[in-house]
Structure 1
């Protein structure tokens, strides 16, 4: 059972900074999704895909994974770069 630990990205519709400091432990899918023959929805028999755990820090998530014998890898969040420019730069 493997999992990945990552920091939740900011939603495209989100302008604030709520819930972007949370770290998420999410299990890697064990099997591929397949379409349901009746409805056409994508699904699988893997119940671990539905489990999403939130933590306050990456260390808490790693400690939980080691305590429960889950092999986890941490995806480091790249640093945020701000491109500062003035409105007048659009007309140069």
Structure 2
């Protein structure tokens, strides 16, 4: 029973710099099975339904250690932003030439 502590990635509609909450999810212990009649996937692993949210990474780690849960922390990748202005589209030394 291993837990994964991570900070979820932002959706395409989010552009702010504010940090999200940290999530603790349990790794699946049993593989999912496919129902032969309906084709739905199901699992007998009840811990796969648990998803806990914490404000900080330290709170999530403390919860896992307090309850004796093995865990692994996945650090968020650094955000690389390419800052451009509108006038860069019309620069004479533009890398990609206009297609029209």
State whether TM-score is above 0.5: yes
For the Cα contact (< 8 Å) 1:6–1:74, is it kept in 2?
yes
Runs of 4+ in 1 over 6 A off after TM superposition: none
TM-score (norm 1): 0.86
Aligned length: 91
TM-score (norm 2): 0.80
Unpaired runs of at least 5, structure 2:
95-100
- 1:68 is the counterpart of 2:67: yes
Unpaired runs of at least 5, structure 1:
none
Bigger radius of gyration: 2
Distance 2:65 2:36 in 1: 39
Provide the alpha-carbon RMSD of the alignment: 1.7
